């Protein structure tokens, strides 16, 4: 989390939960100018990766590995940032 955000400088899980719940994420700033995404894409990618790995634990019995989750988040953020547009 701190790797990509410049503000806030400390992580407060309860505050982040409340901000997600109330959709008040505009006070967060992405540190890397190379990432061409907004804060909503950033938070959604994190939540999706965590739930994907939670699904693997629950339904397939694969142990939860925070390093694997972090790696998949970084890959997804890079992939999302490099997209020119989303064609449906």
Name the helix (H) or strand (E) containing 19.
Answer: helix 13-22
Quick check: 30 and 40 in contact, CB under 8 A? no
- 33 versus 47: the higher-pLDDT residue is 47
Query: Using N-to-C axis directions, what is the helix angle for 39-60 and 66-81, rounded to 10°?
Result: 140
> Model-level pTM?
0.66
Going by C-alpha positions, the residue among 18, 16, 22, 24 that lies closest to residue 46 is 16
Where are the chain's structural domains?
Answer: 5-81
The conformational region for residue 32 under phi > 0 = left, psi -120 to 50 = alpha, else beta, is beta
What's the whole-number mean pLDDT along residues 50-72? 90
What's the whole-number mean pLDDT along residues 27-53? 80
């Amino acid at each position: 989390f701190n790797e990509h955000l410049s503000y806030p400088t400390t992580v407060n899980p309860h505050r982040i939960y409340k901000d997600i719940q109330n959709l008040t994420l505009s006070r967060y700033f992405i540190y890397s100018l190379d990432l061409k995404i907004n804060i909503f894409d950033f938070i959604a990618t994190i939540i999706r990766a965590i739930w994907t790995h939670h699904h693997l634990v629950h339904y397939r019995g694969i142990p939860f590995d925070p390093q694997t989750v972090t790696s998949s988040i970084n890959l997804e953020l890079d992939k999302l940032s490099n997209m020119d547009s989303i064609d449906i």
